[in-house]
Amino acid sequence: MNRLRQPDSGTPAAAAGGVSPPLTLRIDGVEVAVPPGTSVMRAAAQAGVAIPKLCATDCLRPAGACRLCLVEIEGRKGYPASCTTPAEAGMVVRTRSPRLDELRRNVMELTLSDHPLDCLTCAANGDCELQDMAAAVGLREVRYGLSGANHLAEPRDDSNPYFGHDPAKCIVCYRCVRACGEQQGSFAITAAGRGFAARIAAGAAPSFMASECVSCGACVNVCPTASLIERTAVAAGPAVRVVETTCAYCGVGCGFRVELNGPPDTPTVVRMTPSKRGAANLGHACVKGRFAWGYATHKDRVTRPMIRARVTDPWREVSWDEALRHVAGEFRRIQRRHGRDAVGAIVSSRCTNEEVYLVQKLVRAAFGNNNVDTCARVCHSPTGYGLGQTLGTSAGTQSFASIDHADVIMVVGANPGAAHPVFASRLKRRVRAGARLIVIDPRAIDLVDSPRVRADVHLQLRPGTNVAVLTALAHVIVTEGLCDEAFVAARCERQSFVDWHNFVARPENSPEALAGTSGVPAAQVRAAARLYASGGNAAIYYGLGVTEHAQGSTAVIAIANLAMATGNLGREGVGVNPLRGQNNVQGSCDMGGFPHELPGYRHVSDAATRASFERAWGVELASTPGLRIPNMFDAALDGSFRGLYCQGEDPAQSDPDIGHVKEALAAMECVVLQDLFLNETARFAHVFLPGSSFLEKDGTFTNAERRISRVRRVMPPLAGMADWQVTMALAGALGQRMDYAHPSAIMDEIARLTPTFAGVGYDKLERLGSLQWPCNDAAPEGTPTMHVGGFPSRPDGKGRFMITQYVPSDERATRQYPLLLTTGRVLAQYNVGAQTRRTANLRFHAEDRLEIHPRDAGERGIADGDWVGLESRAGATELRAEVTARVQPGVVYTTFHFPESGANVVTTDSSDWATNCPEYKVTAVQVRRQTRPAPTERAP
Amino acid sequence: MFVPGDAAALALGADRVAGAIDREARWRGMEVRIVRNGSRGLFWLEPLVEVATSSGRIAYGPVAAEDVPALFDAGLPEGREHPRRLGRIDELPYLARQRRIVMNRVGIVDPGSLGDYLAHGGGRGLERARRMAPAGIVEAVIDAGLRGRGGAAFPTGIKWQTALAAAATPKYVVANADEGDSGTYSDRMLMEGDPFCLIEGMAIAGLAVGATRGYVYVRSEYPHAIARLEAAAAAAADWLRDQSVDFAIEVRKGAGSYVCGEETAMLESIEGRRGEVRAKPPLPAIAGLFGQPTVINNVVTLASVPAILAEGAAGCRDHGVGRSRGTLPFQLAGNIRHGGLVELPFGQTLRELLYDFGGGSRTGRPLRAVQVGGPLGAYLPEAAFDTPLDHEAFAAIGASLGHGGIVAFDDSVDMSRQARYAFAFCAAESCGKCTPCRIGAVRGVELMDQLRAGDGSRIGLLRDLCDTMIHGSLCAMGAMTSNPVLSALDHFPEDFA
């Protein structure tokens, strides 16, 4: 038995929520009490008795297929399978007897009569459940011989870049089939044929790569043999140690186990497997976190600091000391000549909480200004504003687990199947279990119609009309008497509700009046409103399709209004939940990443807060907010901002209107870039400080459910210093002493200075696995559900309704630019692609394509795969077209993962009125067919 | 005139006979109404033509199309003498000695006419049930002692009681018409000959448990039954809606899988999935079709219900022996002179069935073995022929009545070949979900080949394999495959030497 394997109780825990008391039974003489609905197998595991099993595993419902887990139950005939037999009060179970031993041996003998006996050369040798079970049942001989019918000559499927499928090693336990359906929800794997001919197949497809498979790896996780196994595990051999950490991709924040072998200083990652202890993912993963980690040791990694006088000069490798002294000298020189405010920093939502905290501390304490902004500026800043204004707290209200109690799920401007895949699986599972689904999105995202999940209502609105649709939903709720009057009376500001009520009830806010604007039939809006308001527990999940608009903050407010009006806050199954794009968007905001807020969302103008930090840091702090990212670029062009410390961010690809961004970067005197790779922004950098990947440092990430989870170092930083150490050293070079022996000490300081984090500490994280803030004396183990009984951060604890007047964006279709471009992500790539483009995920998505409706394509003579020119008032680029009805007529869509296609060359300076979050989601464009062939350098 | 539209009669040329009668009548300028009834179940006499006369229905058979002109010459329309004339149908000993309760309308009524069904006593059970509380209906079925006719013989009323007690809604009634056992056809005969009786039984079950929708899962090999049922379900739609609880019936066609006759695999198939067995619990009565409480009964079981409601529980309970109450339509097949359907109260002996009704082997050679209860039933030697036809008596000799199918073999049978066939059948029909059945069946065939090639040392492993399949399999398919194998081995060891 492999000692690194995660414990497995065989079957899932009984569904929670029952009020029935536990029942007691005896298993091999041991008395054990379990909740009703627990299997005999799981009860046995609880009693410390491991019953042999092959098809059962505790992340899947039992199948009763392998027939190894037979037991004897007093008073019952035969030998029931313990995985499918529920424990009952007073049951007396025997898991070992000569008879059971014989039966299990004989079943195992049958299994092995169709299995290659090549254990010594098998990649799973030493980590094979079949091997373990053959040993456990004491099989010594396969009496049938090896000359009978078998499947040993079946061809392998090596089509997938990350795992292979060897049918010869398959024991047809159906774990993969069930994992693909139950856990992932893709239903890509099935059994084909019947009887002895029953074999695992990638649906009706000829191979995994050609199938509906999304390479989440769930099937590989559960395979008890080497039939489905990671290529890296085949290459690297068995792991000898495991480190639990947190994924560095999206805001779901999956718990992972890094399996390693080799020397401690230069270990080899055997594989990354999802951790069952990960509260956000419960043992599930997606193609990015599970497989696309090869970038961490990619040959493009820069591991030595480099400087150059001019961006046209070649890079010169220097020591850390020289690099940091150079930066300090340049920043101090700029500040002396151009003023204290002429320098600033951008922090990354991909870095740890501790690193973000240190950078904002560096800016505030050492730079002496508040010129720090986070890349959350360009994604979820409207969430911070909108939820802060209405509910009082800039954060999602629920745990992911809450969705298991939702009756109605409304997904607005989010495509979780691509951007938050592990949460999408959970959402789909809930829909399969009967929850109703409303999708508000300009595109027919996969939730609208995917295997065994179909949206009850899809409001396919025009880009830029979220506020019109959300207000129309409110109109229906108000005018049809669907408000939760009791909740509103008890929990919300009376006058704000009355004002809002009167506003949304106006005829011009009716679905009928707004149908022309939004393009959504009024009847659909009415159906969605009734469903949301009266379908039981209703939960809203939204994404950047809400925030990245000129009215992004208004739309977030409209969402909060809907939840308050219908009483869908303050308990499980309901709430308002932003799906955060990057691993630590929540954390980078929490940690004071914004120019106007100190850690914990406290305004820099608040003297008391400032005083506490001044006392701790031994400096005086500026009381006026600093520059936002777009302001930094504007100021660079007018000459007042000349030095930038950019940590883990690539504004020259990710920010809108890239022409403008590049001009601004080129205008600066000292651009310091800290990153894993020489990215697009590096072209404008004077100093390059090598960054460290999530495998190289300790710290914490905070996911979309406010869950703080540990990131753990599995190898030394390739460049010798982790990012937090670099910032610390830079502060020292600037004369601001920072002295932390370990990131835990940084967290201790955060906890001391931030009331919502007061109870957070590494010891507690070690003990509990993770913590959801607020975590303090009032909630020592954290807060899964916010706003229970009140809105503590609001005056009088009352929620505030706000008017959501729909003001159309200036960005609209014109004769010159008749189509609306909206942007998003695909499953296999991540943001600007710096990580995923350096992995085999390229095999799934090798270029950005422009989705265009057949009608618009036809009018322009564009065929699927043609090169097209994409032009807006900001700029022009070229990419290939994908003709699809997933988009509506008049709307085109692309992703921004590849610098070659440069989607953000086209996006404009239009931004949210409250937060300057760019309007990535609406750009008026023209699309033309390009007659010339593709330039050769575009070949992926 | 009655010319059966039953599949067995059709296979023997009933359509041609009906056409010939119609042509002959028209040629003679006579008005003859031809009713395509079900079969009476005397297959050696099919196509069996009946003529309604003032002295009852007169039977002729077997009739070939070529015989028709001569029959008319002899006075067929008036029921006159002819070498093919068999006399009054209900006086034929084969029928007269039966006790037809479930199959009492099959062959008599026009299966396409709801009016005819009601005119022959149909519908009274449902009428009565509509005036009863659900628990009362369940009570009546329990009181009648009705047990499942599909093979497992589980008390029907108890199953209904479980579904009635289940709180979840909606609930479903599923009629298992995937009659896959070789040599059985009572479900088919009933669906083809008296489809409204099944529909009435389902509607009563619906009332009893609170189900609003019924499915009939029919094997695709029964196209005539499917057509009959679909027509009947459409014709009965208004009749079924005329009750406080709405009830609608949908006919679902199987896709050629034996194991889909296993109730949970059948549910998977109806739900649109691969026909694989589900582990129990949960019992389908608590969480069955689409996860909802579901009553699943065999066709004959459900068809037994209208009479129980109409005539009272005693009509069933007063027949039979021990815990086997009522009648069972036995089906004689294989090497038998008079193959056909024989509905008898439980308790008579196998020998009576085989000789008094079946008339011994068709070849005239001594009967050596019979397989009772389908391809997974036990092979019984002549010494067991006096066993009463009773679930418990059969269980006592390691056999089961199953669905009442009886296949006879004469003394030319090679029982080791039959044992091999049992494994081959299982290998062909296993769903592939559980190891003992999926791999065991194939290893069984291989072992039998080795044994038959002279390697007697394999018998120990063969018995071990049977033991593993009996006690290890997920469903009865794998577990019961050992019945024919072990019974052949135990009763006919000389064939394995």
Whole-angstrom Cα distance, residue A129 to residue A10? Answer: 13
Average pLDDT over residues B225-237: 96
Instruction: Reply yes or no on whether the pLDDT at A938 is more than 50.
Output: no
pLDDT at A392: 94
Does a cis peptide bond (omega within 30 degrees of 0) precede residue B282?
Answer: yes
Enter the tokens of residue A435. 């929850």
Whole-angstrom Cα distance, residue A513 to residue A515? Answer: 6
Domain boundary among the residues B410, B436, B457 is at B410
The mean pLDDT value of chain A amounts to: 94
Average pLDDT over residues A277-288: 96
Which residue type occupies A43?
A
pTM score of the predicted model: 0.94
pLDDT at A1: 63
Whole-angstrom Cα distance, residue A914 to residue A552? Answer: 8
Average pLDDT over residues A20-28: 93
Residue B329 lies in a domain: yes
Enter the tokens of residue A845. 């998505």
Whole-angstrom Cα distance, residue A500 to residue A492? Answer: 12
pLDDT at A937: 45
Which residue type occupies A855?
R
pLDDT at A70: 97
Average pLDDT over residues B17-41: 96
The predicted-structure confidence for A895-937, as pLDDT tens digits, reads as follows: 988 888 878 888 888 899 999 898 999 999 999 998 765 554 4
**How many domains does chain B contain in total?**
4
Tell me the H-state helices in A241-391.
287-291, 320-338, 353-361, 381-390
pLDDT at B427: 96
Least confident range from A110-124, A240-254, A355-369, B236-250: namely B236-250
Least confident range from A241-255, A479-493, A911-925: namely A911-925
In order of their start, the domains of chain A are: 1-96 (3.10.20.740), 313-379+584-755 (3.40.50.740), 381-578 (3.40.228.10), 819-938 (2.40.40.20)
Neighbours of A387 (CB within 10 A): 24
**Pair (B389, B428) in one structural domain:** no
Chain-chain contact of A190 with B274 (C-beta, under 8 angstroms): yes
Using CB atoms within 10 Å of the CB of residue A876, give its burial: 0 to 12 exposed, 13 to 18 middle, 19+ buried: middle
Does a cis peptide bond (omega within 30 degrees of 0) precede residue A774?
Answer: yes
Which residue in this structure is represented by tokens 């024919």? Answer: B484
Confidence of residue B243 (pLDDT cuts 50, 70, 90): low
**Three-state secondary structure call for residue A549:** coil
- Burial per residue of A177-200, b for 16 or more beta-carbon CB atoms within 10 angstroms, e otherwise: bbbbbbbbbbbbbbbeebbbbbbb
Whole-angstrom Cα distance, residue A572 to residue B85? Answer: 79
pLDDT at A940: 37
Helices B459-472, B482-491: axis angle to 10 degrees equals: 140
The nearest CA of chain A is from the CA of B468 a distance in Å of 6
Which residue in this structure is represented by tokens 């479980």? Answer: B162
**Pair (B203, B310) in one structural domain:** yes
The predicted-structure confidence for A613-637, as pLDDT tens digits, reads as follows: 999 999 999 999 999 999 999 999 9
- Percent of chain B scoring above 90 in pLDDT: 95
Which residues neighbour B255 within 8 Å (Cβ) at sequence distance 6 or greater?
B220, B269, B275
Whole-angstrom Cα distance, residue A760 to residue A757? Answer: 5
C-beta of residue A633 within 8 angstroms of C-beta of residue A652: no
Q: Write phi, then psi, for A165 (nearest 5 degrees).
A: -125, 115
> A279: closest CA among A761, A772, A699?
A772
The predicted-structure confidence for B305-348, as pLDDT tens digits, reads as follows: 999 999 999 999 999 999 999 999 999 999 999 999 999 999 99
Give which of A39, A103, A110 to mutate to test B binding, by max B Cβ within 10 Å: A110
Tell me the CA end-to-end span of chain B in Å, nearest whole number: 56
Whole-angstrom Cα distance, residue A171 to residue A115? Answer: 7
pLDDT at A196: 96
Q: Write phi, then psi, for B216 (nearest 5 degrees).
A: -110, 120
Q: Are strands A891-895 and A538-542 parallel, antiparallel or unpaired?
A: unpaired
pLDDT at A247: 96
Query: Phi-psi category of B182—alpha, beta or left, where left has phi over 0 and alpha has psi -120 to 50?
Result: beta
Residue B105 lies in a domain: no
**Three-state secondary structure call for residue A395:** coil
pLDDT at A657: 87
Domain boundary among the residues B410, B429, B464 is at B410
- What DSSP character marks residue A263? -
Chain-chain contact of A194 with B436 (C-beta, under 8 angstroms): no
**Three-state secondary structure call for residue A597:** strand
Instruction: Reply yes or no on whether the pLDDT at A517 is more than 90.
Output: yes
Residue B232 lies in a domain: yes
**Pair (B395, B297) in one structural domain:** no
What does the radius of gyration of chain A's CA atoms come to, in whole angstroms? 29
Whole-angstrom Cα distance, residue A383 to residue A579? Answer: 10
Give which of A67, A91, A151, A180 to mutate to test B binding, by max B Cβ within 10 Å: A67
Confidence of residue A3 (pLDDT cuts 50, 70, 90): confident
* Interface A:B, Cβ pairs < 8 A: 109
The predicted-structure confidence for B163-204, as pLDDT tens digits, reads as follows: 999 999 999 999 999 999 999 999 999 999 999 999 999 999
**Three-state secondary structure call for residue A894:** strand
DSSP A402-465: GGGG-SEEEEES--HHHHSHHHHHHHHHHHHTT-EEEEE-SS--GGGEETTEE-SEEE-PPTT-
Three-state secondary structure along A230-260? EHHHHHHCCCCEEEEEECCCCCCCCEEEEEE
The nearest CA of chain A is from the CA of B191 a distance in Å of 29
Average pLDDT over residues A295-304: 94
B432 touches chain A (CB under 8 A): yes
Residue B102 lies in a domain: no
Average pLDDT over residues A852-859: 97
**Pair (B447, B336) in one structural domain:** no
Which residue type occupies A879?
L
A205 touches chain B (CB under 8 A): no
Instruction: Reply yes or no on whether the pLDDT at A679 is more than 60.
Output: yes
pLDDT at A939: 38
Chain-chain contact of A196 with B438 (C-beta, under 8 angstroms): yes
A142 touches chain B (CB under 8 A): no
Handedness of CA A37, A40, A41, A47 (dihedral sign): positive
Q: Write phi, then psi, for A820 (nearest 5 degrees).
A: -105, 125
Q: List the CATH number of the domain containing B395.
A: 3.10.20.600
The predicted-structure confidence for B375-399, as pLDDT tens digits, reads as follows: 999 999 999 999 999 999 999 999 9
- What DSSP character marks residue A862? -
**Pair (B136, B285) in one structural domain:** yes
Q: Are strands B367-372 and B405-410 parallel, antiparallel or unpaired?
A: antiparallel
pLDDT at A882: 97
Chain-chain contact of B439 with A111 (C-beta, under 8 angstroms): yes
Q: Write phi, then psi, for A134 (nearest 5 degrees).
A: -60, -40
Contacts of A64 in chain B (CB under 8 A): 279, 433-434, 474
Residue B141 lies in a domain: yes
pLDDT at A18: 60
Least confident range from A160-174, A562-576, A579-593, B409-423: namely A579-593
Contacts of B436 in chain A (CB under 8 A): 67, 107, 110
Contacts of A38 in chain B (CB under 8 A): none
The predicted-structure confidence for A402-417, as pLDDT tens digits, reads as follows: 999 999 999 999 999 9
The nearest CA of chain A is from the CA of B113 a distance in Å of 41
Nearest CA in chain A to B444: A144
Q: List the CATH number of the domain containing B252.
A: 3.40.50.11540
Instruction: Reply yes or no on whether the pLDDT at A655 is more than 90.
Output: no
Contacts of B280 in chain A (CB under 8 A): 84
Instruction: Reply yes or no on whether the pLDDT at B114 is more than 80.
Output: yes
Report residue A836 CA to chain centroid gap. 14
Report residue B341 CA to chain centroid gap. 9
Which residues neighbour A538 within 8 Å (Cβ) at sequence distance 6 or greater?
A406, A407, A408, A409, A410, A531, A532, A563, A566, A568, A574
Neighbours of B31 (CB within 10 A): 7
> B434: closest CA among A773, A152, A191?
A191
Which residues share a beta bridge with A911? A918
Residue B438 lies in a domain: yes
Which residue in this structure is represented by tokens 């999956």? Answer: A254
pLDDT at B413: 97
- Burial per residue of B93-114, b for 16 or more beta-carbon CB atoms within 10 angstroms, e otherwise: ebbeebebbbbbbbbbbbbbeb
Which residues share a beta bridge with A647? A674
**Pair (B216, B298) in one structural domain:** yes
Q: Where are the beta strands (DSSP E) in A28-67?
A: 30-34
**Pair (B129, B260) in one structural domain:** yes
Contacts of B440 in chain A (CB under 8 A): 110
Enter the tokens of residue A911. 């931004």
B433 touches chain A (CB under 8 A): yes
The predicted-structure confidence for B411-468, as pLDDT tens digits, reads as follows: 999 999 999 999 999 999 999 999 999 999 999 999 999 999 999 999 999 999 999 9
Tell me the CA end-to-end span of chain A in Å, nearest whole number: 44
**Pair (B161, B209) in one structural domain:** yes
pLDDT at A20: 79
The residue range of the domain holding B379 is 320-410
pLDDT at A656: 85
Residue B2 lies in a domain: no
Which residues neighbour B36 within 8 Å (Cβ) at sequence distance 6 or greater?
B2, B3, B4, B5, B18, B110, B111, B112
**Pair (B187, B127) in one structural domain:** yes
Whole-angstrom Cα distance, residue B312 to residue B137? Answer: 11
Which residues neighbour B242 within 8 Å (Cβ) at sequence distance 6 or greater?
none
A41 touches chain B (CB under 8 A): no
Tell me the H-state helices in A481-551.
485-491, 494-504, 511-518, 522-534, 544-547
Residue B109 lies in a domain: no
Using CB atoms within 10 Å of the CB of residue B271, give its burial: 0 to 12 exposed, 13 to 18 middle, 19+ buried: exposed
Chain-chain contact of B433 with A107 (C-beta, under 8 angstroms): no
Which residue in this structure is represented by tokens 């090598």? Answer: A690
**Pair (B92, B197) in one structural domain:** no
C-beta of residue B295 within 8 angstroms of C-beta of residue B174: yes
pLDDT at A901: 81
A106 touches chain B (CB under 8 A): yes
Average pLDDT over residues A835-848: 94
Chain-chain contact of B446 with A67 (C-beta, under 8 angstroms): no
Domain boundary among the residues B294, B317, B340 is at B317
- Percent of chain A scoring above 90 in pLDDT: 91
**Pair (B302, B332) in one structural domain:** no
Q: List the CATH number of the domain containing B471.
A: 1.20.1440.230
Q: Are strands A228-230 and A241-246 parallel, antiparallel or unpaired?
A: unpaired
**Pair (B346, B285) in one structural domain:** no
Which residues neighbour A439 within 8 Å (Cβ) at sequence distance 6 or greater?
A410, A411, A445, A447, A448, A455, A457, A458, A459
